[in-house]
Structure 1
Amino acid sequence: MGMGVASSSARRGKRSRRAAMAEINVTPLVDVMLVLLIIFMVTVTLPAVGVPVELPESRAAPVEEQPDQVTISIDRAGVIYIENEAVEAGRLPEALEALDRGGQPPLIVLRGDRSLDYGRVMRVMGELGRAGFTSISLVTDGSVTPP
């Protein structure tokens, strides 16, 4: 009986000297992955367009972003922006013609300030339709109360 205990302890001693440590510390890997996840979550939720526009409220379903969409914004002063670049007054048709269509017209996402005159937004939509952009989504802020 004593001999069995001695032999098992002798085996353990030999094995511990020969075998390499087989443990991997995954804590740094998990830390890095969590930081990357947080960075990804923050950058995804940032607005794609930097033009400050106070959007009207609506209970409409959110618009899904598409990779080839073009965002057109109209700020409080009535200045029109294609993505982040201002369009000179009266130059919207030329700016729309310059957009790369790549076969079919891209989805247009129209963001208009809530203080704008309805006619101003409709004139921009009319120019979009005249230029051949028929798929237009209007962007609003979410609302919890019905009108």
Structure 2
Amino acid sequence: MAMSLGPSGGSGRRGRSRAPIAEINVTPFVDVMLVLLIIFMVTAPLLVAGVPIDLPDSRASALEQEKEPVQISLDADGQPFVDDAQVSMADLPAALEAIRTERGDDNGDAPQVMLRADRSLDYGKVMLVMGELNRAGLNRVSLVTTGSSERL
């Protein structure tokens, strides 16, 4: 006695069709989101920096900021910039004093300063600017680097 199970598989549900699957395929959505994430990760650093500087690498994590920090940059020639505006070394102390008085908190706290210096620049030039920052009372200084996974 041979029996044929037929297309229904022997389940006893002859003549009924399967119900449609009501699921959303999220794979294309995830692919698009990953591409957008990569685009933003590549373009975001280009939008921040106004002075072209080859920053050194570091494994340190980024700091959280509540206010917009002051950007002090030193290009490859050692020329200082305050928020994308070029300043001569002779005028730097006066510019830093103006920043201290204009952007300081109500409590008298100094604003956050982000110091960016080109990696090919002499260490003495960077220390000269850091000394001027300290003399002006701008003691909250962060050194900006690019992220790196290299180990010593």
TM-score, scaled to structure 1: 0.66
Shift of 1:63: 2.8
In the alignment, the residues of structure 2 paired with residue 134 and residue 71 of structure 1 have an alpha-carbon distance, to the nearest angstrom, of 14
- Is residue 144 of structure 1 aligned with residue 149 of structure 2? yes
In the alignment, the residues of structure 1 paired with residue 55 and residue 129 of structure 2 have an alpha-carbon distance, to the nearest angstrom, of 16
Higher helix fraction (1 or 2): 1
- Is residue 134 of structure 1 aligned with residue 139 of structure 2? yes
- Is residue 108 of structure 1 aligned with residue 113 of structure 2? yes
Give ranges in structure 2 of 5+ residues lacking alignment.
1-35
State the match for 2:94 in structure 1. 94
In the alignment, the residues of structure 2 paired with residue 66 and residue 121 of structure 1 have an alpha-carbon distance, to the nearest angstrom, of 26
Shift of 1:116: 0.6
- Counterparts in 2 of 1:1-147, with a 5 A limit? 42=40, 45-46=44-45, 47-99=47-99, 100=102, 101-103=104-106, 104-147=109-152
Moved over 3 A (4+): 41-44
In the alignment, the residues of structure 2 paired with residue 69 and residue 54 of structure 1 have an alpha-carbon distance, to the nearest angstrom, of 20
The 8 Å contact of residues 63 and 139 in structure 1, kept in 2 or not, is answered as: no
In structure 2, relative to structure 1, the CA distance for the partners of 1:57 and 1:130 (3 Å cut) is same
Amino acid of the residue matched to residue 118 of structure 2?
D
In the alignment, the residues of structure 2 paired with residue 97 and residue 86 of structure 1 have an alpha-carbon distance, to the nearest angstrom, of 16
In the alignment, the residues of structure 1 paired with residue 115 and residue 133 of structure 2 have an alpha-carbon distance, to the nearest angstrom, of 10
Give ranges in structure 1 of 5+ residues lacking alignment.
1-37
Overall identity of the aligned pairs, in %: 44
Amino acid of the residue matched to residue 93 of structure 1?
P
Taking only aligned residues, the RMSD between alpha carbons, in angstroms, comes to 2.2
